[in-house]
Structure 1
Amino acid sequence: MSTKVLFVCLGNICRSPTAHGVFEKLVADAGLQNDIYIDSAGTGDWHIGRAPDERTQHAASKRGYDLSNLRARQVSSADFSEFDYVLAMDKNNLKDLRGMAGDKSDCHVSLFLDFAESSWKREVPDPYYGGEDGFETVLDLVEDGARGLLATIRSASVK
Structure 2
Amino acid sequence: MALKSPIAEAVFRKMATDAGVVDKWVIDSGATSDWNIDSSPDARGLACLRKHGIETSHRARQVTKDDFMSFDYILCMDENNLSELNRKAKLVKNHHSKIELLGSYDPQKQLIIEDPYYGSDKDFEKVYEQCVRCCKAFLEMNS
Q: Take 1:88 and 1:104, find their aligned partners in 2: how far apart are those partners?
A: 21
Match of 1:112 among 102, 111, 118: 102
Is it true that 1:52 corresponds to 2:41 in the alignment?
Answer: yes
Q: Take 1:151 and 1:94, find their aligned partners in 2: how far apart are those partners?
A: 23
In structure 1, what is the equivalent of residue 3 of structure 2? 7
- Cα deviation for residue 105 of structure 1 reads 2.0
Q: What RMSD in Å do the two structures reach over aligned CA positions?
A: 1.0
In structure 2, what is the equivalent of residue 71 of structure 1? 59
Q: How does 1:1-159 map to 2 (within 5 A)?
A: 5-8=1-4, 16-67=5-56, 69-102=57-90, 104-116=94-106, 118-154=107-143
* TM-score, length of structure 2 as denominator length: 0.95
- Cα deviation for residue 128 of structure 1 reads 0.4
Opposite residue 133 of structure 2, the aligned amino acid is: D
Q: Take 1:131 and 1:33, find their aligned partners in 2: how far apart are those partners?
A: 31
Secondary structure of 1:55's aligned partner: helix
Q: Take 2:35 and 2:79, find their aligned partners in 1: how far apart are those partners?
A: 20
Q: Take 2:97 and 2:115, find their aligned partners in 1: how far apart are those partners?
A: 25
Q: Which has the higher strand share?
A: 1
Query: Which residues of structure 2 form unaligned runs of 5+?
Result: none
CA distances 1:63-92 after superposition (whole Å, capped 9, x unpaired): 11112x110000011100010000111110
Q: Take 1:58 and 1:150, find their aligned partners in 2: how far apart are those partners?
A: 24
* TM-score, length of structure 1 as denominator length: 0.86
Q: Take 1:37 and 1:46, find their aligned partners in 2: how far apart are those partners?
A: 24
CA distances 1:4-47 after superposition (whole Å, capped 9, x unpaired): x0001xxxxxxx00000000000000111111110000001111
Q: Post-superposition, which runs of at least 4 consecutive aligned residues in structure 1 deviate over 6 A?
A: none
Query: Which residues of structure 1 form unaligned runs of 5+?
Result: 9-15, 155-159
Q: Take 1:42 and 1:119, find their aligned partners in 2: how far apart are those partners?
A: 26
